Amino acid sequence: MKKIVSLVIVTLLLFSVLVGCSQQASNTGAKEQSTVEKVLSKKKLVVGTAPGYLPFEMKDKQGNFIGYDIDLGKAIGASLKVDVEFKQYSFSALIPALQTGEIDILIAGMTIRGDRALAVSFSNPYYATGQVLMLPAKDTTTTSWQDLDVAGKKIAASQGTTGALLAKQLFKNAIVVDFDDFPTAAMALTQGQADGIIYDEPGVRIYEVMQKESVRGIYELISAENLGIAVKHNDFSTVQWLNSFLQAYIDSPDELASRDMWFNSKDWMDNVDSN
């Protein structure tokens, strides 16, 4: 009889352990909230961006975030019916900020690339662009990037950008020098510290309009690429939502008005903070 009681007790103990382990496994295996679910829960979307990439993200003289990407972030917030907060980072600090949860999504004219897709997940493209060469206005003889690939020439690059990566792949003889952002690299160019910059075509076009006496662009595309919204790696629910949003937003009246404002108008240029 004692043996039977002992066997029952042992069986019950084993059952309790198995149930506990099963519950623990169930809890640890619980599905993590997607970014879009978290945003809806807290009723706030935090967008990381890097002002200085005209006309996508900038600050005006009153300190407000403005630009095509800013309009995109606001439209996403409006679609979700949540408040939107923009946080400023250097371009190279954006992906770490996304990975650590400081921001919910990243909208900063970021090119969709395979190496970046190992760290974050991208939406479908929302804008197609490419890299071009910008020169000092006083350089009237250079016609292509190959003309600058000689010993002694310096190429300025905005650290962490596709233009910087491309410059380091292209130039075998010239020296590529990294700067914190495009405005700093452009200033180095105008001050005679560099002979050229590889950068996104829209940004170069706008900068030339604003600094027409200082720089000139060569607009034959060196490479073509697509810009995407970045979210945490493998957050497929949020990617799917963003893709559905972009399907409705691109070419909508709001998007067309934003595109016209930032790419076809010059009215906003005098109010951009150049610091």
Single-letter residue type at 80:
L
DSSP character for 236?
H
Stretch 218-223: mean pLDDT, rounded? 95
Class of domain 36-126+228-266: alpha beta
pLDDT-derived band at 242 (thresholds 50, 70, 90) equals very high
pLDDT band at 220 (very low <50, low <70, confident <90, very high): very high
**What is the residue extent of each domain of the chain?**
36-126+228-266, 129-225
Give pLDDT, residue 21.
Answer: 45
CB 263 within 8 A of CB 55: yes
The per-residue pLDDT for 68 is 98
Region 223-246 average pLDDT: 97
Q: How many CB atoms lie within 10 A of CB 254?
A: 14
At residue 26, the pLDDT reads 43
32, 72 contact by CB (below 8 A): no
Residue 30 binned pLDDT confidence (cut-offs 50, 70, 90): low
Nearest-angstrom CA–CA distance, 208 and 157: 17
Query: Do 36-126+228-266 and 129-225 fold alike per CATH?
Result: yes
Tell me if 121 sits within 8 A of 235, measured CB to CB.
yes
Q: Which of 243, 249, 154 is nearest to 197 (CA)?
A: 154
Give the model's pLDDT for residue 247. Answer: 98
Cα–Cα distances in angstroms (integers) from residue 235 to residues 107, 118, 218, 258, in the given order: 16, 12, 39, 28
**Given pLDDT bands bounded at 50, 70 and 90, which one contains residue 8?**
very low
- Please give the model's pTM, rounded to 2 decimal places: 0.78
Structure tokens at 122: 């991208």
Percent pLDDT > 90 in the chain is 79
Distances (CA, A) of 232 to 63, 88, 123, 194, 239: 28, 18, 11, 36, 9
Compare 139 and 9 and report the one with higher pLDDT: 139
Reported as a single tens digit per residue, the pLDDT across 164-211 is: 999 999 999 999 999 998 999 999 999 999 999 999 999 999 999 988
Three-state secondary structure readout of 121-168? EECCCCEEEEEEEEEECCCCCCCCHHHHCCCCCEEEEECCCHHHHHHH
**SS3 for 196?**
strand
Query: Which has the higher per-residue pLDDT, 266 or 166?
Result: 166
Higher pLDDT, 212 or 242: 242
- Give per-residue pLDDT as tens, 65-110: 999 999 999 999 999 999 999 999 999 999 999 999 999 999 999 9
Nearest-angstrom CA–CA distance, 233 and 237: 11
Which backbone phi and psi does 254 adopt, to 5 degrees?
-65, -45
Higher model confidence: residue 24 or residue 192? 192
Quick one: pLDDT at residue 11?
42
pLDDT digits (tens, 9 = 90+) for 151-168: 999 999 999 899 999 999
- In the chain, DSSP finds a helix count (H) and a strand count (E) of 9, 12
The mean predicted confidence, pLDDT, of the chain is 90
Domain 129-225 indexed as CATH 3.40.190.10: yes
Which pair of tokens denotes residue 136? Answer: 């000092």
